[in-house]
Amino acid sequence: MNIFHIVGARPNFMKVAPVLSALQGRQGVTQTLIHTGQHYDVNMSDVFFQQLGIPAPDVNLAVGSGSHAQQTAEIMLRLEPVVLERRPEIVLVYGDVNSTVATVLVCAKLGVRVGHVEAGLRSFDRSMPEEVNRLVTDQLADLLFTPSEDGDKNLAHEGIAPEKIFLVGNVMIDSLVRLLPAARETSRRELPERYALVTLHRPANVDDSARLKGILESLLEVNRDLTVVFPAHPRTRKRIVDFGLNAGQLRLLDPCPYVDFLGLQSRATVVITDSGGIQEETTYLGVPCLTVRENTERPITVSMGTNVLVGRDPEKLRSELARVLAGKAKKGSIPPLWDGRTGERIADVLTKLS
């Protein structure tokens, strides 16, 4: 069985690594890793590949940045001849980026089976491009690997046949479990014992000057009581400069490689974010997470985990932070099957198909 893995952005790398590893050496399985080049930060991509033990891609489509339509179309144009030439039995896509939906569109038209790793997640907010990608991908995919029971329920509600759905757990946690010991050894001696770790990158938060200004003002208030450490996404840093906003005494850092950032998360007093993956990682780590969004496609991090949605309400952000500082942070638990063995369960399903 020839299996293609399609990755295009950093969150995909954490998800593909355990599946590649689990399939390695399985009888009758050959693997092809295709990097679409969707993420424009090539140096950071290379570091992620090294830290996660991912081999160099067999094919790099080198698509680069662009609008959603441009990027999706370019991936389709460059991927189709590769699929036609190499004829995979199944193609695995990961998460909800443009590379994911572009791949499933190409493969569906060519009659090639697709497996979607991290299927069934829904924010129910179609203003998010990722939500559109998730909906389209899951309707066209042949195998849907879900991280939690809410994913199964969402797919059933959308009419997906139950025999296509496999509850396997959260594959990203596999990478976290493997690399956490190394992450905890990473040194950040210049940081205080207690700090708030911040990540922001979603257009709804950083592309609107008034919205971004309000968030920064809230973070500056937080910084009076707790040092704010802010590895700033290039997009976010550019917006701060373009809008002429004041980041004051916030500790702005360059984006961190995965192991370094995982170390920062594991030691943080609280994490303030708009990232989906970080909501999951903090739940596993037991670190309080305040999500600067009105909704989440990962509701299990709220119902079972340490995540609290604070939306766009600065007062709620302040009150939830006060609870953390007072030792009254939300206590969570680790969801079922978030145990570091999801890659093996996916590999088991795939090998039974051959």
Instruction: Report d(CA 21, CA 66) in Å as an integer.
Output: 32
**What pLDDT sits at residue 191?**
84
Can you identify the CATH homologous superfamily of domain 2-170+338-353? Glycogen Phosphorylase B; (3.40.50.2000)
- Residue 353 pLDDT more than 90? no
Is a pLDDT exceeding 70 seen at residue 113? yes
Is the distance from CB of 219 to CB of 199 less than 8 angstroms?
A: no
Q: pLDDT per residue over 237-284, tens digit each?
A: 889 998 999 888 899 998 888 899 999 999 999 999 999 999 999 999
For the annotated catalytic residues, the residue numbers are 201
**Domain limits, the chain:** 2-170+338-353, 180-325
pLDDT score recorded for residue 49: 77
pLDDT at 42 over 60: no
Instruction: Please tell me the predicted confidence (pLDDT) of residue 275.
Output: 92
Task: Give the list of residues 6+ apart from residue 40 with CB closer than 8 angstroms, or none.
Answer: 64, 65
Band of the pLDDT at 134, cuts 50, 70, 90? very high
Report the pLDDT value the prediction gives residue 131, as an integer from 0 to 100. Answer: 97
Asked whether the predicted pLDDT for residue 74 surpasses 90, the reply is yes
Residue 45's pLDDT is what?
63
Confidence band of 96 (pLDDT split at 50, 70, 90): very high
Q: What is the pTM of this model?
A: 0.94
11 band by pLDDT with thresholds 50, 70 and 90: confident
Q: Are 166 and 146 in contact (CB under 8 A)?
A: yes
Q: Which amino acid belongs to residue 126?
A: R
Nearest in space to 223 (alpha carbons), one of 270, 276, 172: 270
Query: For 245, which DSSP code?
Result: -
**pLDDT at residue 334 in the model:** 98
Give the model confidence (pLDDT) of 285-328 as tens digits. Answer: 999 999 999 999 999 999 999 999 999 888 899 899 999 999 99
The CATH number corresponding to 180-325 among 3.30.930.10, 3.30.2420.10, 3.40.50.2300, 3.40.50.2000 equals 3.40.50.2000
d(Cα 15, Cα 168) in Å, to the nearest integer?
13
Q: How confident is the model at residue 189 (pLDDT cuts 50, 70, 90)?
A: low
pLDDT in tens, 135-176: 999 999 999 999 999 999 999 999 999 999 999 999 999 999
Structure tokens that stand for 211 in this block: 């919205």
